[in-house]
């Protein structure tokens, strides 16, 4: 299959780099005048898909907001994946999975195998059992043309106690970025193995040019701006994917308003890294 990095580069060129998070928070359901139940989850999520998936390059459903409803919520997530991809958007499953051995392989099968009902274009993963623990997912991504987004420099206040810790001369985050740089070596136009780097980290001395994509949560309602992205990422911003959910989702339930909000988000970051 065509590598994820190649497909992502085409999506950015065709539709832009803005990624819409499809995160059905209970508070957002209530803002839409909906109850906090499965029927409302389905109405919310599929309305967003119908509105934005035809016009953005990528969507990012957060698995936890579907899992909390059990099997019926997962069934809705399966439809989000299928209908978003049918509309031409790449699906970045925000699951942050990470384990070892056969369990890691099972996660790879769930999220990266096209035959799985949850099979997505890419999945977020945690490397903090050691980068080598991700090997089954790396191999599955290579085999199926999928991608990974590995937690590297997150915006949450607890992150630095792990990510800024040092292993010799390098920080833990720097070690993860180096692994990703190696995984993407020689890939053109860009590799399939990306990092998650928060838009509100302030600044970093780490080399973010990994020849791979950078998924950037925290943009928009959480405080990150286009100017922040230019400052933090520099030349690496050419492969940055700013992700926002609330700035777009609060425009619902009107589909036209949702689509317009997604387009405004895309326009605001179109020239990053140029």
pLDDT at 217: 93
Q: Is 60 a catalytic residue?
A: no
Catalytic residue among 25, 96, 246, 250: 96
pLDDT at 236: 93
Question: Regarding the domain with residue range 4-267, which homologous superfamily does it belong to in the CATH classification?
Answer: Aldolase class I (3.20.20.70)
Counting residues of the chain whose pLDDT is more than 90, the rounded percentage is 89
CA distances from 12 to 31, 182, 230 (A): 31, 23, 17
Q: What is the mean pLDDT of the chain?
A: 95
pLDDT at 202: 85
pLDDT at 274: 67
Distance CA 101, CA 86 (A): 32
> What residues are paired with 167 via a beta bridge?
170
Q: What is the DSSP letter of 238?
A: G
CA distances from 154 to 10, 18, 32, 192, 209 (A): 27, 18, 29, 20, 16
Residues of the chain with pLDDT under 70: 274
């Amino acid at each position: 299959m065509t590598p994820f990095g190649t497909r992502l580069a085409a999506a950015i060129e065709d539709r832009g780099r803005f990624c819409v998070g499809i995160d059905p928070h209970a508070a957002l359901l209530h803002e839409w005048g909906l109850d906090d139940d499965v029927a409302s989850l389905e109405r919310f999520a599929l309305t967003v898909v119908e509105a934005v998936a035809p016009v953005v390059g990528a969507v990012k459903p957060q698995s936890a907001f579907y899992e909390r409803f059990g099997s019926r919520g997962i069934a809705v997530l399966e439809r989000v994946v299928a209908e978003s991809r049918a509309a031409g958007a790449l699906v970045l499953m925000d699951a942050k999975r990470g384990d070892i051995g056969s369990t890691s392989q099972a996660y790879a099968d769930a999220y990266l195998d096209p035959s799985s009902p949850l099979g997505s274009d890419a999945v977020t993963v945690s490397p903090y059992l050691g980068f080598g623990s991700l090997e089954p997912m790396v191999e599955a991504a290579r085999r199926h043309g999928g991608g990974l987004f590995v937690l590297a420099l997150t915006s949450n206040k607890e992150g630095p106690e792990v990510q800024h810790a040092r292993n010799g001369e390098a920080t833990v985050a720097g070690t993860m970025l180096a692994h990703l740089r190696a995984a993407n070596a020689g890939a053109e136009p860009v590799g399939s193995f990306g990092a998650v780097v928060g838009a509100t980290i302030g600044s970093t001395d780490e080399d973010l040019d990994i020849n791979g994509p950078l998924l950037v949560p925290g943009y928009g309602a959480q405080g990150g701006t286009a100017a922040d992205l230019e400052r933090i990422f520099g030349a690496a911003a050419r492969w940055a994917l700013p992700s926002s959910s609330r700035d777009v989702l609060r425009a619902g339930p009107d589909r036209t308003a949702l689509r317009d909000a997604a387009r405004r988000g895309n326009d605001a970051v179109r020239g990053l890294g140029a």
